[in-house]
Amino acid sequence: MLKLYWKNATSDVIGPEHGICPSEMESTVEKVAAAHRAVVAQWDAGELGYAELPARRDYRDEVMDLAGRYRENTTDLVVLGIGGSALGNIALQQALNPVTYNLLGDAKRGGPRLFVLDNADPTLIGDTLGLLGRRLKKTLFNVISKSGGTAETAGQFMIVREMLTERLGAGFADRIVATTDPEKGILHDIAADDGYATLTVPPDVGGRFSILSPVGLFSAAMCGIDIDALLAGAASMARRVKTAPPADNPACVLAAVKYLMYAEKAKPVHVMMPYSNRLAGLADWYRQLWAESLAKATDRSGSEVFVGPTPVKALGATDQHSQIQLYREGPNDKIIVFLEVGKHPRRVRIPDVFGEIEQLSPLRKVGLSALLAAEKQATEYALARSHRPSVTIRFDAVTPEAVGEFIFLYEFTTSLMGELLDIDAYNQPAVELGKKATFALLGREDSEESAGQIRKFAKVDKKYLI
């Protein structure tokens, strides 16, 4: 079971100015209890689409049916998507398959190689498609977009479709799976016309909450990840956070700590620092979830508030050598959430060598997992000595069940934070302007006025060009 440890965010450890006092926690837990009642009421009313995903057997079954159809005749799977249509796929693959997965031979992997093209970068797209050229007949492209109108994904898809039609002819449609709205939208209509296999983007689930839907599950199932165990872990955490009293509820306590740090302790920067390379993708996933959900200009009444904790990703122990100097001696405006692993999937021991070098003697015959654990504890201690708060989320092991638990824990905590901040945690209005401006600059017919304004803004003033 996933565990939350928050002692190092308390006044007992780091003092009352930066740490949480018992009275502060007690009063905030009452606020969180009210937020919890509100979120559970939304859940019970069917208004919290992501909360239903762990139990949605229909989504699970359509994923498994399609994976069964394609796994045996697919050597490479390419996901075309961005944001919530890509980060979850990357996170699950990184957490639950070997780091060398794509380097293994076809027979050893047990599933296709996975490439997630999460940008419109021409080198990323060109190099990847060039690599796959000879394997195209056994390459499957999963294009993920609720509407089909996202510029980056649509551009990728147009390139891929043209390439497939040129090289495979009439059978090109069999190498495309469209994950999209089940009833409407550009991609839905193209898929129907061309005859692609399709998967559902749940209409009531935003992209950043969609990792446990077909959006994230299909690539996982194709690559041999146990999605039943993943969903079971999420379901277990769902029951736990829905029914446990606030003081014993990991989502409520995590939300209370983070809210207090943001609203009362002047800590607007929320760092996630896994001590496991396998969990680094989950930190990337968290950044989108936290940033898009909680950064809002207005509250629910329409008043300007400009709220939002800033999520930051770090990696232990790597970033002890790049960021901890800032975290310890820079502005005391951060809370660090460590992700800790009890049992790593591999055991590697440092050999008994260099016995004559006294400085290296502590490392002899030590397992790398023990070294990594010591690094985390030392960093935790050093931060506390500098009155810097931290909490730890502990994974007994990096398993599908534990990853599912973590995903649901953070999704539900995000909902609670939305209530505490009195904002809509499920929209992202600021993202839309950039999307519209992109299409305006590319010459969309209904955007001439906007394009003129943007070009005027973007015109280079040589006075400032050095």
Is the C-alpha dihedral spanning 168, 169, 171, 174 positive or negative?
positive
Catalytic residue among 292, 380, 405, 411: 292
Q: What angle do CA 292, 296, 300 make, to 5 degrees?
A: 120
Residues 6+ apart with CB under 8 A from 263: 420
How many other β-carbons are positioned within 10 Å of the β-carbon of residue 131?
Answer: 13
460 φ, ψ (degrees, to nearest 5): -75, 125
Q: Closest Cα partner for 425 from 200, 137, 209?
A: 209
Q: What is the C-alpha to C-alpha distance for residues 116 and 73, in angstroms, rounded to an integer?
A: 19
292 is annotated as an active-site residue: yes
Asked whether the beta carbons of 210 and 216 are under 8 A apart, the reply is yes
Q: What is the C-alpha to C-alpha distance for residues 40 and 29, in angstroms, rounded to an integer?
A: 16
Q: Tokens at residue 6, please?
A: 């928050």
CA atoms within 13 A on the CB side of 293: 27
435 is annotated as an active-site residue: yes
Catalytic residue among 183, 304, 321, 445: 321
Asked whether the beta carbons of 175 and 163 are under 8 A apart, the reply is no
Residues 6+ apart with CB under 8 A from 34: 419
Burial label, 319 (beta-carbon count in 10 A; 0-12, 13-18, 19+): middle
* Cis amide leading into 317 (omega within 30): yes
Q: Closest Cα partner for 210 from 382, 53, 43?
A: 53
Q: What is the C-alpha to C-alpha distance for residues 332 and 295, in angstroms, rounded to an integer?
A: 21
How many other β-carbons are positioned within 10 Å of the β-carbon of residue 145?
Answer: 27
401 is annotated as an active-site residue: no
Q: Tokens at residue 391, please?
A: 């909490």
Catalytic residue among 3, 7, 184, 435: 435
Asked whether the beta carbons of 139 and 76 are under 8 A apart, the reply is yes
Three-state DSSP at 312 gives strand
Positions marked catalytic: 292, 321, 435
